[in-house]
């Protein structure tokens, strides 16, 4: 590959405008294109992730890439930022062909990326993560004070006053995401690629990010944005590109399109996230949380979950809404047995399970789909199939030995149920797209046939079609098997889907409870969030 494109790099100077025309046909010759991919293709072994894609990034504007899970969005972005090299095609920067051997190459030319999967070193502090590899040198080695100052300034800009010296592993996932964003911002780049930067952020944090993006735009920075939160993405985007099965299928400017256009081009049909399943009576109380408290791991005086009580009946679906730091993750992790409680009780179908281990709770039918799939959800060294069957080994064990045939049954059922796009059960987990990895985590826990399922941000990173499928699956489980569901979300729109009841959490307590007939504004107001226009 190297030998082929080097001669190119010498002579070919393509006019930016010509490049634009040649990509998308007609319509926007006037726009300045800063970066473009020409006929880019990428295969991973026998999997062809991208097939001859042309893609343009417009100067000082936001170009949003839409597409299903596994459509090839991240792959394209990794190519544009030098993480991986294309199998074919070329990249033009300001009309000049360029080759990035690595991310450092790309960064030097002003292109940086916020990855879909966080790439922070958990043991290092926020400051050290932000300046990793680009340490500021002072007269006596690294100028830590200056680094800390800049970190603080960045965090302020992002409205997230985190102490620069906090180890990243002590931060919530959403805060980690903000650190990741801050790191990308700290590099003065002219092109910033954001691969699902908001998947763990709540509405107000997203607003802050959008303010920053507008600010960057006004300074002439070009943004590539990827998100499965379509509505949200529409508010910031200037150009929309849809990718489908590795092929670019549609392009339009913001003014010409609406949500329906995106969904139609992404998946071919419009659909909604469903409504609360009805037509049956709710059963007995399946899960009852009584006066539960969880102490803050760092500040012992404070409680992240503060004397909280909640009951969920068999067949009932409860949505847990709240800002980052409201204590949702801690609540769910405590109920599942991951973190100890500092008071209170958890009852499963009347039985006190507070002192049981995670494994025993799973056995009794209480399972958690964790929020952070890389850290808590997936075993990277195992295949897709082994990951999917990990929580339900007992179901295919007979006597001492596991049965390969029955395991295959469990795995194939899960793959079909949650629609995982994979090469097969033996594929490496790392070869799946981000959203498909998320589906593996969900599928794994649902394969245990739980009585009560807790899902912490289950829709993180999955496309609108898959989201609807997962919700449908939960709704069906609730209606036909009396499954009790609690799912948390930071996207208000998701509250108003299958949930019978919406519980808003704030500072470790329940701030409000609503029925399904509530409006978005009321939910957001109750969470203490400024209502976004």
Ligand X SMILES: Nc1ncnc2c1ncn2[C@@H]1O[C@H](COP(=O)(O)OP(=O)(O)OP(=O)(O)O)[C@@H](O)[C@H]1O
What residue ranges bind Mg ion (CB under 5 A)?
74, 116, 433-434
* Sign of the alpha-carbon torsion through 519, 524, 526, 527: positive
Residue 64's binding partner, choosing from another protein, Mg ion, ligand X, none, with beta-carbon cut-off 5 to 8 A by kind? none
Quote the CA–CA distance of 514 and 531 in Å, as a whole number.
17
| Smallest distance from another protein to CB 180, Å | 20
Q: Give the one entry of another protein, ligand X, Mg ion, none that residue 342 binds, where binding means its C-beta sits below a cut-off of 5 to 8 angstroms depending on kind.
A: none
Candidates 72, 86, 97, 274; binder of ligand X (CB under 6 A) is 72
Task: Decide if residue 415 touches another protein (CB under 8 A).
Answer: yes
Judged by CB under 6 A, the residue of 54, 63, 69, 112 near ligand X is 69
Q: Is 220 helix (H, G, I), strand (E, B) or coil?
A: coil
Q: Is 283 exposed, middle or buried (0-12, 13-18, 19+ CB in 10 A)?
A: middle
Query: Which whole-number Å values give the CA distances from 177 to 28, 59, 83, 374, in the listed order?
Result: 34, 25, 19, 13
DSSP state of 375: I
347: tokens are 């009852």
How does strand 191-195 pair with strand 141-142?
unpaired
Does residue number 269 form part of the binding site for another protein (CB under 8 A)? Answer: yes
Beta-strand (E) ranges in 94-145? 96-98, 111-114, 137-138, 141-142
**Contact call for residue 376 and another protein (CB under 8 A):** yes
CB 223 to ligand X: min, Å: 17
Least CB distance from residue 458 to Mg ion, whole Å? 17
Measured from the CB atom, is 88 or 290 closer to another protein?
Answer: 88
* 270, two tokens: 């419009």
Rounded to 5 degrees, what are φ and ψ at 227?
Answer: -160, 150
Contact positions with another protein (CB under 8 A) in 342-371: 357-359, 362-363, 368, 370
Residue closer to another protein (CB basis): 54 or 177: 54
Residues 227/212, Cβ–Cβ less than 8 Å: no
Question: Of 74-113, which residues contact ligand X (CB under 6 A)?
Answer: 74-75
How many whole angstroms separate alpha carbon 138 and alpha carbon 172? Answer: 32
Binds 240: which of ligand X, Mg ion, another protein, none (CB < 5-8 Å by kind): none
For another protein, the closer of residues 43 and 166 by Cβ is 43
34-44: buried (b, 16+ CB within 10 Å) or exposed (e) per residue? bbbbbebbbee
DSSP state, residue 323: -
Which position among 52, 119, 249, 522 is part of the footprint of another protein (CB under 8 A)? 52
Nearest to 81 by CA among 100, 61, 55, 68: 100
375 Cβ partners below 8 Å, 6+ apart? Answer: none
Complex with another protein: residue 251 or 514, whichever CB lies closer = 251
Task: Tell me if 422 contacts another protein by CB under 8 A.
Answer: yes
Q: Which residue, 46 or 300, has its beta carbon nearer to another protein?
A: 46
The answer to whether 247 contacts another protein (rule: CB under 8 A) is yes
User: Does residue number 179 form part of the binding site for another protein (CB under 8 A)?
Assistant: no
The torsion of the CA quartet 37, 38, 44, 49, rounded to 10 degrees, works out to 80
- Which residues, numbered 18-57, are part of the site for ligand X (CB under 6 A)? 44, 47, 49
Q: Among residues 67 and 274, whose Cβ is nearest to ligand X?
A: 67
Closer CB to ligand X, residue 83 or residue 516?
83
Interface with ligand X by CB under 6 A: which range of 94-102, 278-286, 430-438, 494-502?
430-438
Which is closer to Mg ion, CB of 74 or CB of 227?
A: 74
Report the residue from 381, 480, 481, 519 that binds another protein according to the rule CB under 8 A.
381
From CA 521, how far away is CA 531, in angstroms rounded? 6
Binding mask 462-501 for another protein (x = CB under 8 A): -x-xx-xx--------------------------------
Query: Nearer Cβ to another protein, position 136 or 359?
Result: 359
Residue 122 interface partner, choices another protein, ligand X, Mg ion, none, CB cut-off 5-8 Å depending on type = none
Pick the closer one to ligand X by CB: 73 or 419. 73
Closest contact distance (angstroms) between CB of 63 and ligand X is 15
Distance set, CA 406 to CA 355, 402, 471 (Å): 32, 8, 26
Strand 222-226 and strand 191-195: the pairing is parallel
Distance, in Å, from the CA atom of 116 to the CA atom of 75, rounded to the nearest integer, reads: 11
Q: 3-state DSSP call for residue 395? A: helix
Q: Does 431 bind ligand X (CB under 6 A)?
A: yes
Given the structure tokens 């200037």, which residue do they identify? Answer: 238
Q: Which residues bind ligand X (CB under 6 A)?
A: 44, 47, 49, 67, 69-75, 116, 421, 431-436, 461, 463
């Amino acid at each position: 590959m190297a030998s082929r494109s080097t001669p190119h790099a010498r002579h070919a100077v393509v006019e930016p405008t010509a490049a634009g025309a040649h990509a998308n046909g007609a319509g926007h010759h006037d726009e300045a294109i800063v970066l473009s991919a020409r006929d880019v293709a990428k295969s991973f072994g026998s999997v062809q992730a991208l097939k001859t894609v042309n893609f343009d990034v417009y100067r000082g504007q936001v170009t949003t890439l839409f597409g299903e899970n596994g459509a090839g969005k991240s792959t394209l972005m990794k190519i544009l930022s030098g993480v991986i090299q294309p199998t074919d095609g070329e990249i033009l920067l300001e009309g000049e062909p360029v080759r990035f051997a690595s991310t450092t190459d790309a960064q030097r030319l002003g292109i940086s990326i916020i990855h879909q999967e966080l790439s922070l070193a958990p043991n290092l502090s926020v400051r050290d993560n932000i300046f990793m590899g680009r340490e500021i040198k002072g007269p006596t080695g690294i100028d830590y004070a200056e680094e800390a100052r800049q970190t603080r300034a960045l965090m302020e800009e992002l409205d997230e006053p985190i102490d620069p010296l906090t180890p990243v592993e002590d931060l919530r996932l959403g805060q980690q995401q903000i650190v990741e964003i801050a790191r990308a911002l700290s590099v003065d780049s002219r092109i910033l690629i954001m691969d699902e930067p908001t998947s763990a952020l709540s509405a107000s944090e997203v607003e802050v990010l959008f303010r920053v993006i507008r600010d960057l735009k006004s300074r002439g920075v070009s943004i590539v944005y990827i998100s499965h939160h379509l509505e949200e993405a529409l508010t910031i985007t200037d150009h929309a590109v849809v990718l489908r099965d590795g092929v670019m299928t549609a392009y339009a400017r913001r003014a010409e399109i609406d949500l329906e256009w995106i969904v139609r081009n992404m998946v071919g049909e419009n659909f909604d996230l469903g409504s609360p399943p009805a037509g049956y009576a709710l059963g007995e109380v399946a899960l009852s949380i009584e006066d539960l408290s969880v102490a803050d791991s760092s500040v012992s005086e404070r409680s992240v979950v503060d004397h909280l009580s909640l009951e969920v009946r068999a067949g009932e679906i409860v949505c847990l809404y709240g800002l980052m730091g409201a204590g949702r993750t801690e609540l769910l992790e405590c109920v599942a047995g991951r973190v100890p409680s500092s008071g209170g009780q958890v009852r499963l179908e009347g039985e006190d399970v507070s002192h049981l281990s995670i494994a025993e709770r799973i056995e009794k039918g209480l399972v958690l789909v964790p929020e952070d799939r890389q850290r808590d959800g997936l075993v990277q060294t195992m295949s897709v199939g082994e990951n999917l069957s990990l929580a339900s080994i007992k179901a295919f064990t007979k006597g001492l030995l596991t049965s390969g045939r029955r395991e295959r049954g469990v795995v194939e059922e899960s793959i079909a149920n949650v629609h995982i796009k994979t090469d097969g059960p033996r594929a490496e987990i790392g070869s799946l797209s981000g959203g498909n990895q998320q589906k593996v985590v969900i599928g794994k826990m649902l394969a245990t046939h739980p009585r009560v399922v807790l899902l912490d941000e289950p829709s993180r990173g999955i496309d609108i079609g898959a989201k609807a499928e997962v919700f449908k699956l939960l709704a069906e489980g609730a209606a036909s098997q009396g499954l009790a569901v609690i799912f948390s979300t930071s996207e208000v729109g998701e509250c108003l889907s299958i949930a019978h009841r919406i519980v808003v959490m704030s500072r470790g307590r329940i701030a409000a409870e609503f029925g399904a007939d509530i409006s978005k504004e009321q939910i957001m107001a109750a969470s203490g969030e400024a209502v976004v226009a």
